[in-house]
Structure 1
Amino acid sequence: MATPSAPAAEAVAAGCPVDHGHHGYSPFDMTDPFAAYAELRRDEPVMYDERIGYWVVTRWADVRAVFEDWETFSSENAQQPVRERGPEATRIMQEGGFTAYSGLSARTPPEHTRIRAIAQRAFTPRRYKALEPAIRENTRAALDRMLASPDGTGDFLSDIAFDIPTITILTLLGVDPAMVPTYKKWSDSRAAMTWGDLDDEQQIPHAHNLVDYWQECQRLVVEAHRAGGDNLIADLVGAQDGGAEITDHEIASLCYSLLFAGHETTTTLIANSIRVLLGHRESWEAIVADPSRIPSAIDEVLRYSGSIVAWRRKALKDTEIGGVAIPEGAGILLVMGSANRDENVFTHPEEFDIDRVDARNHMSFGYGIHYCLGNMLAKLQDRIVLEETIARVPSLRLADDAQIGFRENLSFRVPTSVPVTWED
């Protein structure tokens, strides 16, 4: 295990208590964390975990209160590597000119307010409407390829969910969709370097990928200045030319963020929607019989099995969370995956119920000023994929021998595969 990042040392120096049992919680193990979340909510809803150097917050009311109070709990550490970069990875990134910063999620007001207001101009209903036919066409083509399998089996993650959101976000940003494999590789490296538990040697190939990723984002901004175009980056450059207060570096940083967040979590949402709905056959049959129930089913998937289960904040002063004293400078890990199953908010929270009236109270898109800018696009794509899939292959089911694992990560709960089969 690599050396914990600076927040750990700061918290220990501040005299933070150390829990000795952790209540079954394992920070990077995403296999099935929900029993441990329940134990934390019951026994120690605000727990300092010395293994990662963060206070772990698991109750819905506490998570929301921290998200809401951006003046006390800064987002500045949201994109900070969980583990310090090793000397070789640091050298590679410095010499490669890597200066990428968060698009929005780690920025704070007034900078965050200024950039978000400009970025929102590009996330218009017109753009979503224009993308919908292509999303349907791409989904149908991907289904055709999967269903052509001679043995009647496939992997919904790699066959469908992997490409659809990536093609969508690349199209939105004016990037050649043929670069899907390259951007997926870069995104995997970003997730591993920022939220993974890598030693110094493991970081090296990812550092090279992040340099390439950042250089491409800068190139896209230069190209938008040169050639314009009908895409989001060109819109931002046009806004800049029209007097909007946004720099090329900030546009490239937005690109750096969107080319990750714009597909990675949506790929997982689509994969989880299929995985969970097929795992609850009565729910699958319900949306097959009545596709109008798909939007509520998506909200319940987001609550029950969200793509992002934890996010980070930093205390800017001595404060409290849920009655527990938190020192200035402490790192906070907000476990939305636990908050989404809080018994004080959701009736029978461990049950998956697409008719649940309180599902939209989930916090899988965050809360407050950093609420996910692309939430509507993510849900649009998931809805289209579900609509097209139930129309084309209502007999879809999980493979009988499906053994679905999850990648190790502090924040993202990503299945490694979703094996499926179907009847002719």
Structure 2
Amino acid sequence: MTLSRSENTRPAVGCPVAHGTADHHGYQPFRMDDPFPAYAELRREEPVMYDERIGYWVVTRWADVRAVFDDWETFSSDNAQAPVRERSAEATRIMKEGGFTAYSGLSARIPPDHTRIRALAQRALSPRRFKVLEPSIRENTRAALQRMLAAEDGAGDFLTDIAFDIPTVTILTLLGVDPAMVPTYKRWSDSRAAMTWGDLDEREQIPHAHNLVEYWAECQRLVTDAHRDGGDSLVADLVTAQDGGAEISDHEIASLCYSLLFAGHETTTTLISHAIRLLLSHPESWSALVADPSRVPGAIDEVLRYSGSIVAWRRRATKAATIGSVEVPEGANILLVMGSANRDEDVFARPAEFDISRDDARNHLSFGFGIHYCLGNMLAKLQARIVLEETIAAVPSLRLTPGADIRFAENLSFRVPTSVPVTWES
């Protein structure tokens, strides 16, 4: 990768991509209803663009996104969990006085700490644990479907009725938490997403700051309880490894909990919601899965390519470098738009088409690439597969509610539908 020197994170005077065009090619960083036309224009016109509204270099082509992910030394992940908008003085005070010291579990760490902690976490997230979890995931899915299908009007919201609880119960079970706490953890997770990747003003930050203090205290409690009680959970496994001489601190275990209790369900809830939304909006695809459920894994890869849960992730240049043909200065904040890369015409045939039979879907970058490749990817795909299999079996007549206007919450990195209204034949 070509390197160059520069003095600051702003574009150099005269740089052809210094501020983008007047309207940034229609790109709106936080708006997620339909960002794909703007992504396509950026790929064509300015695949590496500095956006002064957020202070990030926006990277939209597959090859460039992959290259940045793959070079962790030049492009550090240490800003991956930093708030997009600066925390207000009041929110900072609340969190400091509340003892909030949480740090990233893995995504914002760099080697050697990342290597050390990931090896231990990967050992704890073993195929054995997934195999043990599978029957309960299937049982929980069947029960949730029965509750939804009991509606007398033959209508429901797949997001809140099915996708909301299944991944949350799974990750709470994995970490040894009472599944009755689903609403509480969802509230905390909403606050984490808003405070880290949202566009909040000072007043809006205050309730979320209080929630994050509670969230971090709970993560620390889980570690304390595992030391005292042991048990069969990922937290207990890490504590046992620590007692056996593994180099991991209580704070690092709590930080892993802080990350997993968010990432372990939010993105999977969204993946399941996207899968149902897309398959039902393409009835021929839904019918194909009803006829042959063995095609479900391929369909999940296409959902991840076409509309992943995470559309953008962040990096920081540790030295001046070139991305594509554009020089970025040392210290530059970089936004890698996987949602655009996954529809790059240079990589995917007919990228704007949703096609569950395509043979190139697995080249998507929705789980990242390189040393930070998503640790929970197998668990996410397992849960999506089970939910689709059980839904196909229980209600093959499922349809999107006619005229439904599905919207998406505003966020820099996550594309989350606010509802997935469905109907079915009684």
Q: Normalising by structure 1, report the TM-score.
A: 0.97
- Cross-structure match for 2:194: 192
Q: What is the identity, as a one-letter code, of the residue corresponding to 1:43?
A: E
DSSP 3-state at the match of 1:410:
coil
Give me the whole-angstrom Cα distance separating, in 1, the residues matched to 2:92 and 2:11.
Answer: 25
DSSP 3-state at the match of 1:266:
helix
In structure 2, the CA distance between the partners of 1:10 and 1:159, relative to structure 1 (3 Å rule), is farther
Report how far residue 10 of structure 1 moved.
Answer: 5.7
- Cross-structure match for 1:141: 143
Report how far residue 237 of structure 1 moved.
Answer: 0.3
Report how far residue 341 of structure 1 moved.
Answer: 0.1
Give me the whole-angstrom Cα distance separating, in 1, the residues matched to 2:417 and 2:166.
Answer: 16
- Cross-structure match for 2:289: 287
Q: What is the identity, as a one-letter code, of the residue corresponding to 1:321?
A: I
Q: What is the identity, as a one-letter code, of the residue corresponding to 1:258?
A: L
Q: What is the identity, as a one-letter code, of the residue corresponding to 1:47?
A: M
Tell me, yes or no, if the aligned pair for 2:9 and 2:328 is still in contact at 8 Å.
no
In structure 2, the CA distance between the partners of 1:163 and 1:355, relative to structure 1 (3 Å rule), is same
- Cross-structure match for 2:415: 413
Give me the whole-angstrom Cα distance separating, in 2, the residues matched to 1:261 and 1:367.
Answer: 17
Give me the whole-angstrom Cα distance separating, in 2, the residues matched to 1:330 and 1:200.
Answer: 25
Query: Which deviations, in whole Å up to 9, do the C-alpha atoms of 1:333-388 show, x marking residues without a partner?
Result: 00000000000000000001111100000000000000000000000000000000
- Cross-structure match for 2:274: 272
Q: What is the identity, as a one-letter code, of the residue corresponding to 1:308?
A: I
1:18 aligns with 2:55: no
1:109 aligns with 2:111: yes
DSSP 3-state at the match of 1:121:
helix
CA RMSD after TM alignment: 1.1
Q: What is the identity, as a one-letter code, of the residue corresponding to 1:131?
A: L
Give me the whole-angstrom Cα distance separating, in 1, the residues matched to 2:186 and 2:371.
Answer: 28
Tell me, yes or no, if the aligned pair for 2:11 and 2:328 is still in contact at 8 Å.
no
TM alignment of 1:219-230, pairs within 5 A: 219-230=221-232
Give me the whole-angstrom Cα distance separating, in 2, the residues matched to 1:368 and 1:22.
Answer: 30
1:78 paired residue among 71, 77, 80: 80
Give me the whole-angstrom Cα distance separating, in 1, the residues matched to 2:19 and 2:342.
Answer: 26
TM alignment of 1:144-163, pairs within 5 A: 144-163=146-165
- Cross-structure match for 1:400: 402
In structure 2, the CA distance between the partners of 1:114 and 1:83, relative to structure 1 (3 Å rule), is same
Give me the whole-angstrom Cα distance separating, in 1, the residues matched to 2:424 and 2:316.
Answer: 48
Identity rate, percent: 80
1:350 aligns with 2:348: no
DSSP 3-state at the match of 2:425:
coil
Q: What is the identity, as a one-letter code, of the residue corresponding to 1:127?
A: R
Give me the whole-angstrom Cα distance separating, in 2, the residues matched to 1:352 and 1:196.
Answer: 28
Query: Which deviations, in whole Å up to 9, do the C-alpha atoms of 1:175-222 show, x marking residues without a partner?
Result: 000000000000000000000000000000000000000000000000
Report how far residue 242 of structure 1 moved.
Answer: 0.6
1:120 aligns with 2:122: yes
Q: What is the identity, as a one-letter code, of the residue corresponding to 2:190?
A: D
- Cross-structure match for 2:379: 377
DSSP 3-state at the match of 1:11:
coil
Query: Which deviations, in whole Å up to 9, do the C-alpha atoms of 1:85-124 show, x marking residues without a partner?
Result: 0010000000000000000000001110010011111011
2:251 paired residue among 241, 249, 252: 249
- Cross-structure match for 2:176: 174
- Cross-structure match for 2:336: 334
Give me the whole-angstrom Cα distance separating, in 1, the residues matched to 2:47 and 2:11.
Answer: 22
DSSP 3-state at the match of 2:72:
coil
Tell me, yes or no, if the aligned pair for 2:49 and 2:57 is still in contact at 8 Å.
yes
Give me the whole-angstrom Cα distance separating, in 2, the residues matched to 1:224 and 1:176.
Answer: 14
TM alignment of 1:42-57, pairs within 5 A: 42-57=44-59
User: Structure 2 unaligned runs (5+)?
Assistant: 1-6
- Cross-structure match for 1:3: none
Report how far residue 14 of structure 1 moved.
Answer: 6.5
Tell me, yes or no, if the aligned pair for 2:175 and 2:233 is still in contact at 8 Å.
yes
Give me the whole-angstrom Cα distance separating, in 1, the residues matched to 2:359 and 2:10.
Answer: 43
Give me the whole-angstrom Cα distance separating, in 1, the residues matched to 2:9 and 2:407.
Answer: 33
- Cross-structure match for 1:5: none
Report how far residue 21 of structure 1 moved.
Answer: 2.6
Tell me, yes or no, if the aligned pair for 2:306 and 2:354 is still in contact at 8 Å.
yes
Report how far residue 18 of structure 1 moved.
Answer: 1.6
Report how far residue 13 of structure 1 moved.
Answer: 8.2
Q: What is the identity, as a one-letter code, of the residue corresponding to 2:324?
A: G
Give me the whole-angstrom Cα distance separating, in 1, the residues matched to 2:11 and 2:373.
Answer: 33
User: Structure 1 unaligned runs (5+)?
Assistant: 1-8
DSSP 3-state at the match of 1:400:
coil
Tell me, yes or no, if the aligned pair for 2:11 and 2:329 is still in contact at 8 Å.
no
- Cross-structure match for 2:3: none
Report how far residue 401 of structure 1 moved.
Answer: 2.2
1:203 aligns with 2:205: yes
1:236 paired residue among 235, 238, 249: 238
Q: What is the identity, as a one-letter code, of the residue corresponding to 1:187?
A: S
Q: What is the identity, as a one-letter code, of the residue corresponding to 2:243?
A: D
